[in-house]
Amino acid sequence: MSNSQNQCGLHRVVIVGGGTAGWLAAGVLAAKLSAKHSVTLVESPTISSIGVGEGSWPSLRDTLLDIGINETEFLTLCQGAFKQGSSFVNWRKGGHRYHHPFTIPTGYNELNIHACWQAFAPDMPYEDAFSLQSAMCALGKAPKQIATPDYAHVLNYGYHFDATKLADLLKKHCVEKLNVNHLIGHIASVTSHSNGDIEKVVTECGQEVFGDLFIDCSGSSGLLIDKHFNVPWVPVKHAMLNDRAIALQVPYADNDNEIKSTTMATAQTCGWTWDIALQHRRGTGLVYSSQFTNAEQAKQVLIDYVCERYPGANEHELAFRTLSFEPGYRSKFWVENCLSLGMSSGFVEPLEASAIAMVELGLRMLCEAFPQNKAHMEIVSKRYNTRFEYRWQRVIDFLKLHYVLSDREEPYWVAQRSDASIPDSLAELLKLWKFQSPSRLDLIENEEIFPSASYQYVLYGMGFTTLAPPLCLNEKEKRKSLHIRETLQQTKNTYFQGLPTNNALLKDIAKRYNDEQKHLHAHFQRQDYGHACASSESNSATDINNNTSLNKKDTSYDRIGFR
């Protein structure tokens, strides 16, 4: 990069790779960067996205809002559903199950909720003592009402969605509304400046794509971060044993009309199965370790699960997709003027849907410190690398936590909790948490990948025991704790009566979207044929605006519930 380029700034962003990561990056950057910046995405014509990551965290609401996508449109076109957390089945013996909901316990930031739980509701599951979300999920309830604006909520939620359809929606929106340049072609070569920065990528047909900042979203192939810069992969298979996955798309049975709003994670002898309910089908799969089973045995485990849970499924008509991966992350995520996102940056396993969240966190940090020149980029890239090495280590700690507390006796599960497989950082925390519950003091970053409340849900959901604190609850804390529990009990009936089921709400949202599209179509038809007078056009436009969900969050719904 020349000195003049260094002074003039970094205006041309080139994204290599599509899929969810690439198009999220294109959408966020195109929506947030100034008009003097350009965003170009180069996508292979033959390499499709993996398309098996179909769950998100609540953070995707903010991301879609930033990009400018209407929630009603997203849910309808991507066959989406609400995700209010994860449900874990048989991770301990005896038919054990628990939930990790997205709504933190009420009063969590003011009280020692673990101590309050032990004092006032020790016989109740931790997840239910100061939260209603798990109970609402068990009842099949949605996290909001049809009148609740887009992206606002009564109970916190993320999404389940068809990953391929989401990439298509993002692509259409980015190209048509955000002026993202979309090029199709295989990357044949990469040309560098004398200082090591990438100058351009060249496609097989000879098209040259120049840029100032390149984002590698090419998945596990790592076309830029790996093939060009040779940044090493840091393997973590000593801790995260899983390295294979099989995915299936299962149709609904005629008599099955329930759409669960948690990802069902069911422990199996050699791994665990995921089960994700969309509007038009279920996404299921098995994550396992090749050390303990082969592909045919794993396939049979998944078939048995599907046939037991969905007796109408015909195994001969099921189309399996297989994925082989090496759990780990890059030793550096940002090198010179190349930032890696998605699987080119790191991947551990699908548990707790951390992959898309890491992409979102990466984009947030990039946007908040977008480099203005080479000197600026050297500083922010160093900070980015430090932050995301820490974040990947915390992902590993949190996911490993799910395994080390199991008491299952199959060789796979025994190996998962062996001392040699537990990271030192997690081992120390587990010792600490015998004496005090997880808190913000244990997780020191201002934007932790998993908050301490999530650790508490998993720890105590899996039966972990923490000693009572030496400090007793004072009278004020006792009154506040009891008041919260009384209020939740009163609110529970309100939620039960007022919240629709997931299925009912999703059908209402789809009907609203289709009605809006018909209204728009009729409106434009009247314009095209010249039959509408000015007043009728004005009324139609008003109706459309009134019927379209607000494209902003109303956080007052978080606390007061219904309107």
Task: Calculate mean pLDDT across residues 105-124.
Answer: 96
Please report the pLDDT score of residue 546 as a whole number: 31
Helices assigned H by DSSP within 332-404: 354-368, 374-404
**CA distance linking residue 43 with residue 217, whole number of Å:** 10
Give whichever of 250-264, 317-331, 474-488, 518-532 has the largest mean pLDDT.
474-488
**CA distance linking residue 428 with residue 128, whole number of Å:** 28
3-state secondary structure labels for all residues of 454-520: HHHHHHHHCCCCCCCCCCCCCHHHHHHHHHHHHHHHHHHHHHHHHCCEHHHHHHHHHHHHHHHHHHH
Both 385 and 510 in one domain: the answer is no
Q: Among residues 392, 419, 438, which one ends one of the domains?
A: 392
In a domain? residue 426: no
Task: Calculate mean pLDDT across residues 346-351.
Answer: 95
E-strand stretches of 91-227: 97-101, 158-160, 181-184, 187-192, 198-203, 208-210, 213-216
User: Is the Cα dihedral 265, 268, 356, 73 positive or negative?
Assistant: negative
Mapped onto helix, strand or coil, the DSSP state of residue 439 is coil
Both 383 and 517 in one domain: the answer is no
Could you tell me which of 80, 88, 224 has the C-alpha nearest to residue 160? 80
**CA distance linking residue 172 with residue 151, whole number of Å:** 21
Task: Give the least confident one: 238-252, 291-305, 416-430, 544-558.
Answer: 544-558
Q: In sequence order, what are the beta bridge partners of 12?
A: 38
Task: Calculate mean pLDDT across residues 379-389.
Answer: 97
Task: Calculate mean pLDDT across residues 322-345.
Answer: 97
Per-residue pLDDT of 504-524, as tens digits, reads 999 999 999 998 888 887 766
Could you tell me which of 205, 223, 166 has the C-alpha nearest to residue 47? 223
Q: Which residues span the domain enclosing 505?
A: 501-546
Task: Calculate mean pLDDT across residues 177-193.
Answer: 97
Both 376 and 513 in one domain: the answer is no
Per-residue pLDDT of 434-487, as tens digits, reads 999 999 889 877 778 899 999 999 999 999 999 999 999 999 999 999 999 999
Q: Is 535 a residue whose pLDDT tops 50?
A: no
Strand 213-216, strand 338-340: pairing: parallel
Token pair 């179909």 in the structure block, residue: 54
**Position 42, amino acid:** V
Q: Among residues 377, 392, 407, which one ends one of the domains?
A: 392
Task: Calculate mean pLDDT across residues 361-377.
Answer: 96
Mapped onto helix, strand or coil, the DSSP state of residue 99 is strand
Please state, in angstroms and as integers, the Cα–Cα distance from residue 222 to each residue in 12, 201, 285, 445, following that order.
21, 14, 25, 28
Please report the pLDDT score of residue 296 as a whole number: 94
Please report the pLDDT score of residue 522 as a whole number: 74
Residues of the chain with pLDDT > 70: what percent? Answer: 89
* CATH code: domain of residue 193: 3.50.50.60
Please report the pLDDT score of residue 541 as a whole number: 30
Q: Is 279 a residue whose pLDDT tops 90?
A: yes
Tokens read off for 436: 């005090």
Task: Calculate mean pLDDT across residues 426-435.
Answer: 97
Please report the pLDDT score of residue 54 as a whole number: 87
Please report the pLDDT score of residue 2 as a whole number: 47
- Name the DSSP letter for residue 139: T
Element (H, E) at 87: strand 85-89
Token pair 């009912």 in the structure block, residue: 504
Q: Is 81 a residue whose pLDDT tops 50?
A: yes
Q: Is 562 a residue whose pLDDT tops 90?
A: no
Helices assigned H by DSSP within 310-373: 354-368
Contact 160, 168 (CB under 8 A): no
Contacts of 194 (CB under 8 A, 6+ apart): none
Q: Among residues 392, 409, 429, which one ends one of the domains?
A: 392
Q: Is 530 a residue whose pLDDT tops 70?
A: no
Contact 67, 61 (CB under 8 A): no
Q: Is 257 a residue whose pLDDT tops 80?
A: no
Is the pLDDT higher at 158 or at 8? 158
Please report the pLDDT score of residue 49 as a whole number: 60
Element (H, E) at 64: helix 59-67
Question: Where residue 542 falls among pLDDT bands split at 50, 70, 90?
Answer: very low
Mean pLDDT value across the chain: 90
Angle between helices 19-32 and 59-67 (to 10 degrees): 60
In a domain? residue 520: yes
Mapped onto helix, strand or coil, the DSSP state of residue 177 is helix
In a domain? residue 437: no
Contact 11, 372 (CB under 8 A): no
Looking at the structure of the chain, the number of domains it has is 2
Please report the pLDDT score of residue 371 as a whole number: 97
Both 209 and 336 in one domain: the answer is yes
Please report the pLDDT score of residue 330 as a whole number: 98
Per-residue pLDDT of 25-69, as tens digits, reads 999 999 999 999 999 999 998 876 655 558 999 999 999 999 999
**Position 125, amino acid:** P
pTM for the model: 0.90
Q: In sequence order, what are the beta bridge partners of 346?
A: 329
In a domain? residue 388: yes
Q: Is 320 a residue whose pLDDT tops 60?
A: yes
Angle between helices 424-432 and 374-404 (to 10 degrees): 60
**CA distance linking residue 346 with residue 517, whole number of Å:** 40
Question: Where residue 9 falls among pLDDT bands split at 50, 70, 90?
Answer: confident
Task: Calculate mean pLDDT across residues 4-29.
Answer: 86
In a domain? residue 48: yes
In a domain? residue 278: no
In a domain? residue 338: yes
In a domain? residue 381: yes
Could you tell me which of 398, 247, 389, 220 has the C-alpha nearest to residue 318? 247
Please report the pLDDT score of residue 128 as a whole number: 97
